[in-house]
A and B are shown apart, each in its own frame.
Chain A
């Protein structure tokens, strides 16, 4: 069975500090997809990134960057120069492909990030 672990339940940092959110996953499949979602206080899950298991290149998007390492089954998310608007719950998720596209996501328990002004 697939599993996603986000060991950090809550993190607080002072504005402008960098912060890394950890994600460790378990799966027996060779083809799978990893995602990060942000859930602000409004409640709606906002898609941040999708990465497939064959693409281990790190990705940078503005202040956000992602480090995917298959050797350690990790897909960590770093926010550089954090801002108050980054305060939210962040979820890591895993989806396995089975034939015609499995749309089932297995989520981690989330990390609540608080940016202190």
Chain B
């Protein structure tokens, strides 16, 4: 079974621009989560989607947004990029169903975003 895929793998943008990152989960997984990883802040949760609905959101400004499509694929968007947004953005999928049990998350290779 194919793993989580993320595109693009590398991206260079300038301040003020916006960017869209894409994530395709493992087949059959309906939950997709996004994380930001930086040397200073470590791994931080951005948001989680399940059946096209955002179920949980981390402590990030409104410039960070996401969505999930009916095929479970997800995108995240960052508008008005700042230098501090330079990071590795990781997407993870899991078998999470409607209730009661937390499954492990499987991560993609990440998109490394550099803002200049």
A37 to B105, CA, bound (A): 10
Within 8 A of A (CB), among B28-79: 31, 33, 35, 42-45, 48, 50, 55-56, 58
Residue of B nearest to A96 (CB): B102
Chain B CB within 8 A of A45 CB: yes
Q: Are A35 and B99 in contact (CB under 8 A)?
A: no
- The majority secondary structure among interface residues of chain B is strand
Q: Are A103 and B56 in contact (CB under 8 A)?
A: yes
Residues of A within 8 A of B100 (CB): 97, 100-101
Q: Which residues of A contact B (CB under 8 A)?
A: 33, 35, 37, 42-47, 50, 52, 91, 95, 97, 99-110
Q: Which residues of B contact A (CB under 8 A)?
A: 31, 33, 35, 42-45, 48, 50, 55-56, 58, 88, 90, 92, 94, 96-110, 112
